Chain A
Amino acid sequence: MNLTVPPLVAILFFPGGLFLLFSGLMYEWIDRKLVARFQNRIGPRLIQPFADLIKLLAKEEVVPQGVNAALFILLPVIAMAGALTAALYIPMIGLQPSYSFQGDLIVTLYLLSLMTICSGLAGANTLDRFSLVGATRTLTQLFSYEAPFLLALLGPALAASSWQINEINQFAQNNPWMILTQPIGFFVALVGLMGKLELPPFDAPEAETEIVAGAMTEYSGRGYALFRLGRNIELVIGLGLVASFYLGGVNNPVDFLLKTLGMLVFLAALQSLFARLRIDQTVGLWWRVGALLGLLQFLFLLVLR
C-alpha cells in the first residue's frame, strides 16, 4: 500500500516514532502473555508494558562510580536511535517504507546490530563484574548468530536480485511464498531472530540466575527503559523483515498483523520449550549447525537459480 506521509510526521509519529514505540509495547505484551499461557499462568494485563515504561522513566537514574558518565548516558540513546532508524526502511504495518534506496538491507541489518553492540559496550563500561561477564557474552553471541542470520536474509535478496527491501517485498508478493522454496532459510532466520533479541534459550547474556542482568545490571530508570524499548522495537522490525521476505510480502496492515503474530506464537512456543543454553553451547550450535544450514540454503539457491 502506498501512503505518502510528510517526512517529519513519518519520523516522529507514524509509521515511525510514537507509533513504533506503541506497537513495540503491544508486541511485548503479546509475547509475555503467550509465554504465560503456555506455562499455564495468567500473564500480565494489557497495560503492563506501558506501566513498566512509565514507572522506569519516573525513577532516578543512578550513574555508578567509575564509569564514563557521558558514555553511560549516551549509549541507550544511540541504541534506541539505531533501532528507530532501522524502522524507516522496512514496510511497517504493510505501508511503503518511508525511505528506500539500493542497499538498504545492509544498512538495516547494521543498524539492528548497533543495538547489540551498544549494550555490549554499556556492559564493558562499568566496573561491575556481572556487567563485564554479560558484555563478553553479548559480543560473543553477536559473533555467533550474525553470519547465519545474514545468510538467511540474503537468500531472498538473491532470489529477488536486489539489495533493496522494498523491491524484495514486491518480489515476494508476486511470487510463491519463499517459506516454501527456502524452508531452511526461514527456520534459520527465525531462530537467528531469537538470538539477536536474546530471547530464551539464547538469553545467556542476560541470564538472570547467573549474572543478575548481564550488561544492563547497572542501568536503572531512563537508560534501562530505553534499552528495553529498543529491544521491543527490534522485535517488531525483525518480525516485519522476516514476514516480508519469507511469508509472501506484506501488503496492508491486516496482512502484516496476521503474519507477524503468527510468527510470534511460534517464537513464544520456542521460548518456553527449552532450557537456557550456555554461551559456549550457543556458539557451538550456531557455528556448527547454523552456519552449515545457512550455507546449504545458499548453495541450493545458487545451483537452482
Chain B
Amino acid sequence: MLEFHTEKFIIPIGPQHPALKEPGHFEFTVDGETVTGATMRLGYVHRGIEKGVEGRNWTQAMYMLERVCGICSHVHATAFVLGVERLANVQVPPRAQAIRTLVGELERIHSHLLWLGVAAHEGGFDTLFMFSWRDRETVMDLLEELSGNRVHYSLNVIGGVKVDITDEIREHLLKGMDYLEERCKYYLNVISTDETFLGRTRGVGLMTLQQAEDLGAVGPTARASGVQRDIRIDAPYAGYSQFPVRLVTESTGDLHARFVVRIKELFESFRLIRLILANLPESELTTRVPRRIPAGETISRVEAPRGELFYYIKSNGNEYPERVKVRTPSLCNWSSVIVLAPGHKLADMPMLLSGIDPCFSCNDRMITIRHTDSNRTWSWEQLRQYGIEYYR
C-alpha cells in the first residue's frame, strides 16, 4: 500500500482570500480534508500609528488612534482619553461619561451585528448575512443621527464629549432598540435551532476553560468557555460604575457558544442603553484640560467588543505624548485558533477564524525587519525615506 504522506499539502488562506476581509496569512497543512497543522503570519496592515502619535499633539493623537480600527474606533478613543484625563487629573462631568458609555454600547451592537453577518457568510448562510446587515443599518442610522457619521463617530474630546442627546434622538434610540431587540430574539432562535447551522457550529473549536486561561483568550471568545472576566465589571470605567453590566458566559466553549454569548451580550446592551437614557445625569459636557499634560505614565483598560483593550500612555510634560502602546484584544485570541485548528476539517477553518471576531487592523504593531545579517528596528522617518528611495 503506497503512502502518500511524503510531502506536506499546504492550503494558504490569505493574504488575498474571499474568507478574509483584511489581509493575513494562514497556512493549513491538510491531509485530505482534515487539518493537521496551522501557522499564521500577520503584519500586512501595519501603518505605524504608535510612532505617528509621537509627533502630534494630544488631540491629534486621539484622532489618529481612533483610526486604528474602523469598527472599534470609539473604544480606542475612549481608552486614550480616559488615560490622558487620569494623567491630567481632571474629573469629567457625569453626563459626558454616560454619553460615552451609551455610544460604547451602541458600538458594541454595531460590531456584534456585523460579526454575526460575516460569520454566517463564512458558513455559507447568506440569508442570515443579508438580514443581520439590514438590521445593522438601523444602528448605523441611529449613530449617524447622534454623532454625525456612521463609523468613526469622533465623539470624544479630551475632557468630555462633543455632542448631546436631545429628546428627539432619545425617542429614535428607544424605538431602534425595540426593533433590534425583537430581531435579535429571532436570531438567537435561528442559530439555536436551525439544524444545518448547528451542524456547522456545534463541537467546532472546542476550547476548555483551562485552555482558554492558558492561551490567554479574551473577550466573548473566552467568556464562551466559561472565563469570568469582563473589564466593565472587574474594573469599571466611564459610566459603568453607575450603570453596571451583567456578566454573560457560556460553558460549552465551542463555536456555537461564541455565537450565543455575543447575541446575549446584545441583550445586555439594549437593557443598558434603555437604562442610561432613562437616567441621564444633567451636567455640562466638557471640562477644561490643559494643553500640556503633566508628566507621568498610566494604563487604561476598556472592554472593546472583541475583548480587553489595553493602553499604556506616557507623558513627559509636553504637548506631545511620549509613548503610547496599544494592545488589542484580537492579538490575544489568535493562539486559540492556531492551537485548536488541527483535527478539524478544512471547511471549518473560515468559521473558526471568524469565530474569534478578528480585527486585523487592530493587530499589527511594530515589526522587526530582519535583513540577512542585520537586525534593526526602523523608525518612522527611516521607513518613509526607504519608501521614497525605493520607488525612485
A contacts, CB < 8 Å to B: 38-41, 129-130, 133, 136, 200-201, 203-204, 207-212, 272-281
Enumerate chain A residues within 8 angstroms of B121, measured Cβ to Cβ.
209
Q: Is the CB of B127 within 8 A of A281?
A: no
5 residue pairs from A and B, CB less than 8 Å apart? A136-B32, A209-B123, A274-B194, A275-B120, A276-B123
Binds A, one of B49-57, B97-105, B242-250, B347-355: B347-355
In the complex, what residue of chain A is closest to B127 when comparing beta carbons? A272
**Closest beta carbon of chain B to A47's beta carbon, Å:** 23
**Interface size grouping (class) on chain B:** 20 to 34
Q: Is the CB of B17 within 8 A of A212?
A: yes
**Closest beta carbon of chain B to A289's beta carbon, Å:** 12
Write the B1-35 contact mask toward A (1 if CB under 8 angstroms, else 0). 00000000111100001110000000000101100
Enumerate chain A residues within 8 angstroms of B128, measured Cβ to Cβ.
275
Tell me if B325 counts as interface (CB < 8 A to partner A).
no
In the complex, what residue of chain A is closest to B353 when comparing beta carbons? A209
Partner of B127, one of A39, A133, A208, A210: A39
Partner of A133, one of B11, B124, B350: B11
Tell me if B186 counts as interface (CB < 8 A to partner A).
no
In angstroms, Cα B200 to Cα A279, docked, is: 11
In angstroms, Cα B134 to Cα A39, docked, is: 10
Partner of A276, one of B12, B130, B200: B200
Partner of A204, one of B122, B134, B199, B347: B347
Question: Which 10 A-B pairs have CB atoms at the shortest separation, nearest pair first?
Answer: A276-B124, A275-B125, A39-B130, A274-B196, A278-B347, A275-B196, A209-B19, A272-B127, A275-B197, A209-B122
Tell me if B144 counts as interface (CB < 8 A to partner A).
no
Q: Is the CB of B125 within 8 A of A274?
A: yes
In angstroms, Cα B347 to Cα A281, docked, is: 11
B contacts, CB < 8 Å to A: 9-12, 17-19, 30, 32-33, 120-128, 130-131, 134, 194, 196-197, 199-200, 345-350
In angstroms, Cα B122 to Cα A129, docked, is: 19
In the complex, what residue of chain B is closest to A272 when comparing beta carbons? B127
**Closest beta carbon of chain A to B92's beta carbon, Å:** 42
Report if A280-B131 is in contact (Cβ < 8 Å); known contacts: A39-B126, A275-B194.
no
Enumerate chain A residues within 8 angstroms of B18, measured Cβ to Cβ.
208-209, 212
Q: Is the CB of A207 within 8 A of B130?
A: no
Q: Is the CB of A272 within 8 A of B126?
A: yes
Enumerate chain B residues within 8 angstroms of A276, measured Cβ to Cβ.
123-125, 196, 200, 347
Q: Is the CB of B33 within 8 A of A279?
A: yes
Partner of A207, one of B11, B134, B347: B347
In angstroms, Cα B124 to Cα A273, docked, is: 11
In angstroms, Cα B197 to Cα A280, docked, is: 15
Partner of B196, one of A130, A201, A204: A201
**Closest beta carbon of chain B to A33's beta carbon, Å:** 14
In angstroms, Cα B120 to Cα A273, docked, is: 12
**Closest beta carbon of chain B to A254's beta carbon, Å:** 32
Enumerate chain B residues within 8 angstroms of A38, measured Cβ to Cβ.
127
